[in-house]
Every structure is written in structure tokens, then in C-alpha cells.
Amino acid sequence: QVQLAESGGGLVQAGGSLRLSCAASGRTFSNYAVGWFRQALGKEREFVAAISWSGRSTHYADSGKGRFTISRDNAKNTAYLQMNSLKPEDTAVYYCAAPRNYYSDLSRIGINEYNYWGQGTQVTVSS
């Protein structure tokens, strides 16, 4: 079992930046890939980015490519999502998650394969 806790959300103006953190506790964090998801009000939860257990592989949704960067520090049991050039449409609750099983291809991990979830952190981008 892995417990995840997000932080770093807040209110930012369009064009600004935020760095979200996902702190893990419980079982060995470095055993798991990590994904970031977001859910806007009235919409379904959607994939944002994922990173492999080692940090060597990453995968992004088109919405974040070139603006968002996912990273991790296994020594600190923490994953990050650096978000730059934020837009009002990035407003959502952001969640980090981890799949129980190993997947060699991050792009093939569906949302239902993520077993462990944090409670979410609100990101609001004003225009």
C-alpha cells in the first residue's frame, strides 16, 4: 500500500507557474510509476503526465506538452509536476496516482490501472 498526498496548488494568473508535489509514504516509492491527473468541475478525470519508477521515461497528454514537466526524487519519496504558461483551462483539481503493477510502456497505463490516489490539490488559473 502506498499513501499519496499532493500539495502546491493555489491561485495563479494566466501565464504563471506552479509546482505540484506528490509525497509518498508506505511501501517503497521507487517501485512505482507515478501519474498526474486532473478533474475540472463537471468533467471527467483526465490524464496529464506519467513518469516511470526510475524517472527515465515520461509520457504527457497533448494538453501539457511543452508546458508541464513531470519529475521525481526517489530519495525524497516525492514526485513533482512543474506547470508553466498556465491557462484558465488548466483549472482543476490535480491528483497524483500510482499503479500497483509494473508497466513497461507508460502510455498503456489506463486510469483504471492506477490503484493508489491522493486527495487532490486545487489549481485555479485566473484570466
**Residue 85: partners with Cβ closer than 8 Å, 6 or more residues away:** 15, 17, 67
Q: Is it the case that residue 118 has pLDDT exceeding 90?
A: yes
On the CB side of 42, CA atoms within 13 Å amount to: 1
Q: How far is CA 105 from CA 9, 14, 113, in A?
A: 28, 33, 13
Burial class, 29, CB count within 10 angstroms (exposed 0-12 / middle 13-18 / buried 19+): buried
The pLDDT value given to residue 93: 98
CA distance 1 to 4: 10
CA distance 11 to 118: 20
Burial class, 62, CB count within 10 angstroms (exposed 0-12 / middle 13-18 / buried 19+): exposed
Q: Is it the case that residue 45 has pLDDT exceeding 80?
A: yes
On the CB side of 23, CA atoms within 13 Å amount to: 6
pLDDT by residue (tens digit) across 2-39?
A: 999 999 999 999 999 999 999 999 878 888 999 999 99
The better pLDDT of the pair 95, 27 is held by: 95
**Mean pLDDT across the chain:** 95
C-beta separation of 9 from 19 below 8 A: no
